Structure 1
Amino acid sequence: MSRFLLLPIAMCFCCAASGAELVVSAAASLGNAFAELKPAFEAAHPGASLSLNLGASGALLQQIAKGAPADVFASADQESMDTAQRRGLLAAGKRVNFASNSLVLIVPVGGKCQPANLEQLLQTACGRIAIGVPGSVPAGRYAMAALESAGLRSAIERRMIAAQNVRQALDYVARGEVDAGFVYGTDAALLRDRVRVAFTVPTPQRILYPAAPIAGSAQAALAQAFVDYLVSPGAQAVLAKYGFGKP
């Protein structure tokens, strides 16, 4: 057994043996990777049960701020985590970046909208474009920042179809309900038979995923163990399998 696995077991056995539930509120784009991490983490912490609460980072932040059960927050952006930190919702000094991602523009396989860059989204064939609601969906904020930087925000904004999270934007494109959509590279890879990456969107800032234990969590040691696990070689290998980059 690895040195990494031994330490969390020693630290958390007392709190996990009684059947502790660890609630991890995580960005929707992390869903598949975290689902694979779940059994390995539980096996390393006998008696622990990891419960995933997936959604848009902004929406998760609001849930936590209103007192919804959560022990760990894993966001798809720095802004949501910064807000959580300012509000005193995070355990002090425990925040870490554990993954990176890219923003891409996808189109339905066989669709008429075939842009090679942001400017070509102005073509008639790209009439409906899915984007996460910028107020709560980090991918939507990254997309809007990219359009703003390119001087295209006002021209494209009237074509936008709002999505409640990045997976909904992916579904809209996959079902052909829109002509294009902004999603993460990791999301696009899930439906290669139904969507095609038209191009990678240049973003003004690097897309980094942070995680932190929630202040006052009843499972503080277990929450810290999960955050530590995210930057371990084993977890990083799983994240890489799903297309996430190093932080």
Structure 2
Amino acid sequence: MKRTTAFTSIIVSLFLIAGTAANAMAQELIVSAAASLTDAFNDIEPAFEAAHPNVDVIMNFASSGALYRQIEQGAPADVYASANPKWMNKAVTKGFVNQADTAIFARNSLVLATPADNPAHIKTLADLTGQAVKSIGIGTPETVPAGQYAKGALTSKDLYATLTPKMIFGESVRQILDYLSRDEIDCGFVYRTDAVKAGKNVTIIEEVPLEKPVTYPIAVLSQSDKQAMATAFVHFVRSDAGADLLEGRGFKRP
């Protein structure tokens, strides 16, 4: 009986050692993705890892501009997924990404949203100039694509300069969503996918008309030493399986 127990312990130990060795051999793949992709890419991560057991995907979420600056400063990353072409184009210009490797993998839309009870009784964009509206959440246009889209839409209607004194700037679109969910601002500009995620905590007032659609490009970074695996991840995101997971979070196919 003691011999059997000892033998069993040895077998268990061997399995643990083998498992530890397998984990140690797993390749870490760092994916820097726009904050608005958080839920969708958190769905994609385990699905990709299941198809590639030797890979451990590390997700890095922030605003597209912040991620670009991390890359520019030498932070490790293998894949870059931006919430608009602007930052991807910068990455191409600076040689961090090859133009031929970039691809649009999803679309989204920008909406004007309020806390659930809509305390300022907003019905349209034009209402934002009224005295009842004292705080408007918007991503910092210089670094947050949602903020850039919102600024462009408001500028086209000659509203941006007028509304600037009321604006509360956020470091990411998710931060604006948090403000809305906690009823800390009268309204804000977020992606439809984010507003849907917030559920009953947020009310969508209207979709904001844009000159150009909200598109998400993705690419393997030239600096990556895991080109094959990074390419496989990009292919998975663009596959039907990846598109289905993105659609499950409210994104549209490109």
Residue correspondence of structure 1 range 183-222 to structure 2 within 5 A: 183-222=190-229
Distance in 2 between residues matched to 1:38 and 1:209, nearest whole Å: 17
Pair 1:64 & 2:42 matched:
no
Residue correspondence of structure 1 range 1-247 to structure 2 within 5 A: 18-247=25-254
Distance in 2 between residues matched to 1:142 and 1:116, nearest whole Å: 20
Number of equivalent positions = 232
Which structure is larger by alpha-carbon Rg, 1 or 2? Answer: 2
Q: Secondary structure at the match of 1:245?
A: coil
Specify the code of the residue in structure 1 equivalent to 2:227: A
Distance in 1 between residues matched to 2:24 and 2:116, nearest whole Å: 49
Distance in 2 between residues matched to 1:101 and 1:241, nearest whole Å: 13
- The structural deviation recorded for 1:135 is 0.7
Distance in 1 between residues matched to 2:121 and 2:152, nearest whole Å: 22
- The structural deviation recorded for 1:111 is 2.7
Distance in 1 between residues matched to 2:132 and 2:99, nearest whole Å: 49
Distance in 1 between residues matched to 2:122 and 2:211, nearest whole Å: 20
Equivalent pair of 2:118/2:203 in contact (CA under 8 Å): no
- The structural deviation recorded for 1:92 is 4.7
TM-score of the superposed pair, with normalisation by structure 2: 0.89
Bigger shift: residues 107-116 or 58-67: 107-116
Distance in 1 between residues matched to 2:228 and 2:124, nearest whole Å: 46
Distance in 2 between residues matched to 1:17 and 1:99, nearest whole Å: 34
Gaps of 5+ in 1: 1-15
Equivalent pair of 1:103/1:139 in contact (CA under 8 Å): yes
Distance in 2 between residues matched to 1:21 and 1:148, nearest whole Å: 43
Equivalent pair of 1:146/1:202 in contact (CA under 8 Å): yes
- The structural deviation recorded for 1:17 is 9.3
TM-score of the superposed pair, with normalisation by structure 1: 0.91
Specify the code of the residue in structure 1 equivalent to 2:180: V
Q: Secondary structure at the match of 1:158?
A: helix
Specify the code of the residue in structure 2 equivalent to 1:118: L
- Greater helix share, structure number: 2
Distance in 2 between residues matched to 1:135 and 1:53, nearest whole Å: 20
Gaps of 5+ in 2: 1-22
- The structural deviation recorded for 1:229 is 0.9
Specify the code of the residue in structure 2 equivalent to 1:74: A
Equivalent pair of 1:107/1:114 in contact (CA under 8 Å): no
Once the two structures are aligned, what percentage of the paired residues are identical? 43
